[in-house]
């Protein structure tokens, strides 16, 4: 077994290029159908400012995280313009459902906001003949805490207060713990109505990982794609929770930043112990990603972020969204298309293409290794 690899991202080339706001949204849906027979291609075409190396033919099926759907649709548009022999269908059904479909052999790869769990890796060996599923990071960004409280446009919370809001120990917006963090705010005696994801979600896993890491006493439940507390308000997908917060005075939830922005929802600044409370922005998320570590054993590229960071300007509730594929044992009829498409998404041209639709590209050092890993799939 190869030794565990840990690589710091903080290099000159590794800091994320963030010239525009990140959009991690769940827009639209593509219906998957039975896969066609893909045949090896090999011609190269220019698109999206770089060379796309076409490979395979027929239909390439994938599903998973809604957070990366806008990026995937941009990649699909670029790729299919250059490679018309391949049709890429990605369904934004959520991380949990996407992984399940991949593990059942229904798709060629899955999108997920969290890396595979050990039991999922073990199960992947059944579908990856002679190999296993590996995590390939593609984009990242902040999980915002959005709220709707009439008359309150700015709000600061810390991890303990946030945990007690979502576990029900703090029930009203003018609670002493919230007031202490917001001495200048006029907080109403409005009931707090937390909203969580009803579907299994990598966004839920990232949010609960943050709470369990930073304030384990207040939030003893370990990170999980499934919301750990029974009862309460729930909705499907980030679009669902953002819509519910928008229409409910007193509501609060966690979601990709784009859903808060598209619904004109205010977002919480986090008191992390840094010099100033940290806002949920792409730039601040990049500060957190830049000091992350690779913890996957090659060729796996799972990353680990420091949820407890106190670095100035680093927003700690940050996710990295992955494509999950077999390292070995890919289906021959789709292998060439998988390598061709994912090779493009991780390329410099592919990463810059999604900047145009508001995503943050990977650190160059990591993106180059993803390209190399994709090329090694067999």
| pLDDT tens track for 132-148 | 999 999 987 789 999 99
Strands 109-112 and 86-91: unpaired
Closest among 169, 148, 149, 172 to 160, alpha carbons compared: 169
pTM over 0.75: no
Mean pLDDT is lowest, of 233-237, 282-286, 328-332, 343-347, for: 282-286
Q: Which residue has the tokens 């090896």?
A: 40
Q: Specify the pairing of strand 58-64 against strand 193-197.
A: unpaired
pLDDT at 50: 54
Bridging pattern class, strands 193-197 and 233-235: parallel
Whether omega for the bond prior to residue 288 falls within 30 degrees of 0, making it cis, is no
Query: Token match 């990295």: residue?
Result: 320
Residue listed under structure tokens 């077999």: 326
Q: Please state the separation of Cα 162 from the chain's center in Å.
A: 21
- The region, left, alpha or beta by phi > 0 then psi within -120 to 50, assigned to residue 297 is beta
Residue 240 pLDDT > 80, yes or no? yes
Reported as a single tens digit per residue, the pLDDT across 189-209 is 999 999 999 998 889 999 999
| Residue among 52, 39, 60, 38 at smallest CA distance from 81 | 52
Q: Which is more confident, 179 or 33?
A: 179
Q: By C-alpha distance, which of 28, 83, 95 is closest to 58?
A: 83
For residues 341 and 138, is the Cβ–Cβ distance under 8 A? Answer: no
Q: Is the pLDDT of residue 221 over 50?
A: yes
Q: Give DSSP secondary structure letters for 187-230.
A: ---PBPEEEEESS--HHHHHHHHHHHHH-TTT--SPP-SS--S-
Task: Report strand pairing: 233-235 vs 251-256.
Answer: unpaired
Q: Which helix (H) or strand (E) holds 88?
A: strand 86-91
3-class SS at 355?
A: helix
Residue 71 and residue 66: Cα distance in Å, rounded?
10
Contact predicate 10/314, CB 8 Å: no
**100, HSE (Cβ side, Cα atoms, 13 Å):** 10
């Amino acid at each position: 077994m190869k030794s565990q690899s840990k690589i710091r991202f903080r290099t000159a080339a590794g800091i994320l290029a963030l010239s525009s706001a990140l959009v991690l949204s769940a827009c639209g849906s593509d219906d998957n159908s039975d896969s066609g027979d893909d045949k090896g291609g090999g011609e190269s075409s220019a698109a999206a400012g770089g060379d796309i190396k076409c490979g395979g033919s027929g239909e390439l099926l994938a599903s998973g995280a809604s957070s990366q759907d806008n990026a995937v649709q941009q990649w699909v548009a670029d790729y299919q313009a250059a490679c018309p022999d391949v049709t890429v269908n990605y369904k934004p059904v959520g991380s949990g459902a996407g992984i399940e479909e991949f593990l059942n052999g229904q798709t060629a790869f899955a999108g997920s906001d969290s890396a595979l769990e050990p039991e999922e890796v073990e199960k992947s060996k059944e579908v990856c003949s002679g190999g296993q599923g590996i995590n390939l990071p593609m984009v990242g960004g902040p999980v915002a805490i959005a709220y709707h409280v009439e008359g309150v446009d700015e709000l600061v919370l810390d991890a303990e207060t946030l945990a007690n809001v979502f576990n029900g120990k703090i029930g009203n917006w003018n609670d002493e713990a919230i007031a202490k963090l917001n001495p200048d705010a006029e907080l109403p005696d409005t009931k707090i109505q937390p909203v969580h994801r009803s579907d299994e979600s990598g966004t839920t896993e990232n949010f609960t990982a943050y709470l369990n890491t930073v304030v384990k006493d207040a939030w003893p439940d370990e990170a999980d794609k499934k919301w750990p507390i029974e009862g309460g308000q729930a909705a499907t997908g980030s679009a669902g929770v953002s819509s519910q917060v928008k229409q409910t005075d007193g509501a609060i939830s966690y979601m990709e930043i784009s859903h808060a922005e598209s619904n004109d929802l205010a977002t919480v600044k986090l008191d992390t112990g840094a010099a100033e409370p940290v806002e949920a922005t792409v730039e601040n998320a990049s500060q957190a990603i830049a000091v992350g570590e690779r913890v996957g054993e090659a060729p796996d590229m799972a990353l680990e972020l420091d949820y407890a960071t106190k670095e100035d300007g680093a927003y700690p509730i940050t996710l990295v969204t992955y494509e999950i594929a077999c390292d070995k044992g890919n289906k021959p009829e789709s292998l060439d298309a998988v390598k061709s498409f994912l090779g493009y998404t991780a390329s410099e041209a592919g990463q810059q293409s999604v900047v145009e639709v508001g995503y943050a590209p990977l650190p160059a050092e990591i993106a180059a290794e993803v390209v190399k890993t994709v090329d090694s799939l067999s």
